[in-house]
Structure 1
């Protein structure tokens, strides 16, 4: 199985810590504007998703979404959610921890693209 989004051990540790404080979580990959293009962490259901969003997968048992139009640019890449020191998006739950989630990426291999149906 090819996963479209994964998380580092450090990100999973922070997700667990945030779950202990806030309960179930969800993520949405920001597309720019105020918070750049950071993965934003919310209490589950606090960020409204709809037909214009794509569920990429789950990290730390939390759903991870991205806007459909942004997904068109990123569909050939695997998102790798990591954590670094510093302040992230002002609406994201990890802010008070002195950490921020960060999206890294890698291009899928030809074999992975075939599995995902991304070859033409």
Structure 2
């Protein structure tokens, strides 16, 4: 990463990309939302773009395999110091998430940004 370019806030693994492409073929354009809270809300949820209304204050973190990834403002405040990686693991997806019933579910891995990365995000007005 160049000192002048901010890091990506959200990334995606090859396994997650494959599942996204499979779901997109079935459902059309997708989006992700992570709201926080308990139960399904603490997992990244995948929806058809036309079936989910993004809140006025939701934060767009970036795109994963061509799908926008949003986070609720309260969750963003908690996670803004981290880079997220969307992955898949065996299991059952959230009740309303499109990964439900696939035998895998979307999963977030994270790492803290370095001081230099935070400075680059701040300089770009993205922190």
Q: TM-score, normalised by structure 1?
A: 0.93
Q: How does 1:75-94 map to 2 (within 5 A)?
A: 75-94=80-99
Equivalenced residue count is 118
Q: Which moved more, 1:44-53 or 1:92-101?
A: 44-53
- What residue ranges of structure 1 are gaps of 5+ in the alignment? none
Rounded to whole Å, the distance in 1 between the matches of 2:71 and 2:106 is 15
Question: Which of the two has greater strand per residue?
Answer: 1
Q: Which moved more, 1:105-114 or 1:43-52?
A: 43-52
Rounded to whole Å, the distance in 2 between the matches of 1:26 and 1:99 is 17
Which runs of at least 4 in structure 1 moved beyond 4 Å after TM superposition? none
Q: CA deviation at 1:36?
A: 4.6
- What residue ranges of structure 2 are gaps of 5+ in the alignment? none
The yes-or-no answer on 1:25 pairing with 2:39 is no
Q: TM-score, normalised by structure 2?
A: 0.88
Partner of 1:47: 52
Q: CA deviation at 1:51?
A: 1.7
Rounded to whole Å, the distance in 1 between the matches of 2:41 and 2:48 is 20
Partner of 1:101: 106
Q: CA deviation at 1:45?
A: 2.7
